[in-house]
């Protein structure tokens, strides 16, 4: 399909991950006209792109999407490939209209609706749902380019397994969950230092016992207590978005026991070598940046963001631009909104709002940002 062969569809969902698929399930049940556009070649591919040993933090009993419980042991923690296969089967099972290999580069107003473009292809719609999130660009410190070219650098987005590394010491930068798990893995074959400080640690030991007793409490809090309908949720939302998640499965004591050397944060580069906050020069031959991602919504050419670049929305509904919706983003409505346990509820709500809009019912009032720039 090219720009000269545009066709109108009621709703375009940009992003075919778990959030987009969950919404697609509810729209399909209602017989709605929609398409799901995804940048990858097949459903679930975003999960397949992660490092080989990655496992989910949530047990299988919380990892299923609407209409299809996750198969197998309910207390097991699926691998990233099992999650990817589940999403691919989900599209097939419910015959969802999934269009692959579409890297959207623009969403624009077009009359009473929208035009979504991807290179020389374009689609028109009455509604558009942004389910792709904004965190796509790997973040590295500005001084990363000053490292000696003999040092092999990888971002966590590119890391797959220790076989990618050169023989010799490794510096992992960033003590979040990705940094902790990758450092634990590479520490088995390489002398490894991990630079940074954790934002906190989950108090319980992760595993089957936690899946049975503790994680149901965490899930309840993330869905029903920490959300935008409660005073504590509204107060917590800005801090929740800006803070790194606490260490969940791999704790600092696990790293120390495995021989990973915990060091201060990275401060810069001197003579081509990493330098820590305490002035120590690190003689590493490999650096793995576990430093997160930049938020980038530059491809959304619509006035739906506040001065901080955050979507202006209420439960995923962009009040200032009728027909625009969000799903799958951090604390969209609740602390669990960007997680597998949270996307189904948000998808059900948005499907209902889309149905109301199609019936000509009144929409949400325009969103007013609070003093912190967050949607109230």
For residue 117, pLDDT over 60 is answered with yes
pLDDT of residue 1: 42
Do 80 and 120 fall into the same domain? yes
**Helical axes 80-93 vs 18-29, angle rounded to 10°:** 20
If one compares 153 and 132, the residue with the highest pLDDT of the two is 153
Residue 107 located in a structural domain: yes
> For residue 351, what pLDDT is reported?
97
Tokens of 4: 């000269």
Q: Is 231 within the bounds of a domain? A: no
Question: How many domains, in total, are found in the chain?
Answer: 2
Contact 147, 287 (CB under 8 A): yes
Residues 91 and 162 placed together within one structural domain of the fold: no
Q: Are residues 78 and 159 in the same domain?
A: no
Residue 237 lies in a domain: no
For residues 61 and 160, membership in a common domain is answered with no
**How much is the average pLDDT of 55-60?**
97
Helix/strand/coil percent split, the chain, to 5: 30, 25, 50
Decide: 198 and 176 in contact? Cβ < 8 Å. yes
Would you give the DSSP letter of residue 364?
A: P
Q: What is the pLDDT of residues 269-317, one digit of tens each?
A: 999 999 999 999 999 999 999 999 988 899 999 999 998 888 999 999 9
pLDDT at 374: 36
Comparison of pLDDT for 373 and 113, the residue scoring more: 113
CATH number of the domain to which 277 belongs: 3.50.50.60
* pLDDT for residue 243: 79
Q: Residue 241 falls within a domain, yes or no?
A: no
pLDDT in tens, 305-352: 998 888 999 999 998 899 999 999 999 999 999 999 899 999 999 999
In terms of domains, do 275 and 165 share one? Answer: yes
Q: 343 and 251 in one domain?
A: no
Residues 78 and 189 in one domain: no
Q: What percentage of the chain reaches a pLDDT higher than 90?
A: 85
User: Do residue 283 and residue 152 come from a single domain?
Assistant: yes
Identify the domain containing residue 128 by its residue range.
Answer: 5-135+295-359
Residue 233 in any domain: the answer is: no
- How many C-beta atoms surround the C-beta of residue 204 within 10 A? 14
Residue 207 lies in a domain: no
Lowest-confidence region among 165-169, 235-239, 262-266:
235-239
Model pLDDT, residue 358? 66
311 plus 336 within the same structural domain: yes
pLDDT number for residue 84: 98
What confidence tens digit (pLDDT) does each residue in 137-170 have?
899 999 999 999 999 999 999 999 999 999 999 9
181-209 pLDDT, tens digit per residue, is 999 999 999 999 999 999 999 999 999 99
Q: Is the pLDDT at 9 greater than 70, yes or no? A: yes
374 to 62, 238, 371: CA distances (angstroms): 28, 7, 7
Helices (H), 147-198: 177-186
Last residue of a domain, one of 289, 321, 345: 289
Picking from 109-118, 220-229, 330-339, 359-368, which range would have the lowest pLDDT averaged per residue? 359-368
Q: What is the pLDDT of residues 76-90, one digit of tens each?
A: 999 999 999 999 999
Residue 368 has pLDDT above 90, yes or no: no
What does the pLDDT read at residue 159? Answer: 98
Model confidence, pTM: 0.91
Q: What average pLDDT does this structure show over 92-119?
A: 96
The per-residue pLDDT of the chain, averaged, comes to 91
Give the model's pLDDT for residue 119: 93
Q: Residues 6 or more apart from 80 whose CB is under 8 A from it?
A: 47, 48, 50, 51, 54, 55, 56
- Domain assignment present for 97: yes
Regarding predicted confidence, which is higher, 372 or 191? 191
Identify whether residues 281 and 329 lie together within a single domain: no
pLDDT of residue 371: 32
- Cβ contact 265:276 at 8 Å: yes
């Amino acid at each position: 399909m090219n720009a000269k062969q545009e066709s109108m569809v009621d709703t375009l969902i940009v992003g075919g991950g778990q959030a987009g698929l969950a919404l697609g399930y509810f729209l399909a049940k209602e017989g709605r006209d929609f398409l799901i556009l995804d940048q990858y070649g097949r459903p679930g591919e975003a999960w397949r792109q992660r490092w080989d040993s990655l496992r989910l933090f949530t047990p299988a009993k919380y990892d299923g999407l609407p209409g299809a419980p996750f198969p197998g042991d309910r207390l097991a923690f699926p691998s990233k490939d099992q999650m990817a296969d589940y999403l691919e089967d989900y599209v097939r099972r419910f015959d969802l209209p999934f269009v692959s290999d579409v890297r959207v580069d623009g969403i624009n107003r077009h009359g009473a609706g929208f035009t979504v473009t991807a290179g020389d292809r374009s689609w028109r719609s009455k509604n558009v749902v942004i389910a792709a999130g904004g965190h796509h660009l790997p973040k590295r410190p500005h001084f990363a380019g000053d490292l000696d070219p003999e040092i092999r650098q990888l971002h966590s987005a590119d890391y797959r397994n220790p076989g990618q590394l050169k023989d010799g010491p490794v510096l992992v930068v960033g003590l979040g969950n990705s940094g902790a798990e990758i450092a634990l893995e590479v520490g088995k074959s390489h002398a490894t230092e991990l630079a940074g400080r954790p934002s906190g640690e989950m108090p319980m030991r992760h595993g089957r016992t936690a899946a049975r007793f503790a994680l149901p409490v965490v899930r309840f809090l993330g869905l029903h207590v920490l959300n935008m309908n409660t005073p504590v949720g509204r107060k917590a939302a800005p801090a929740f978005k800006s803070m790194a998640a606490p260490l969940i499965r791999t704790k600092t004591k696990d790293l120390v026991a495995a021989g990973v050397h915990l060091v201060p944060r990275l401060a810069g580069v001197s003579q081509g070598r990493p330098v820590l906050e305490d002035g120590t020069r690190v003689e590493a031959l490999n650096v793995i940046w576990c430093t997160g991602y930049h938020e980038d919504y530059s491809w959304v050419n619509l006035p739906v963001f506040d001065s901080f670049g955050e979507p202006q929305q209420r439960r995923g509904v962009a009040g200032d631009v009728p027909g625009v919706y969000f799903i799958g983003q951090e604390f969209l409505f609740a602390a669990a909104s960007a997680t597998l346990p949270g996307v189904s509820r948000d998808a059900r709500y948005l499907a209902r709002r889309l149905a109301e809009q199609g019936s000509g019912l009144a929409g949400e009032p325009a969103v007013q940002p609070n003093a912190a720039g967050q949607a109230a």
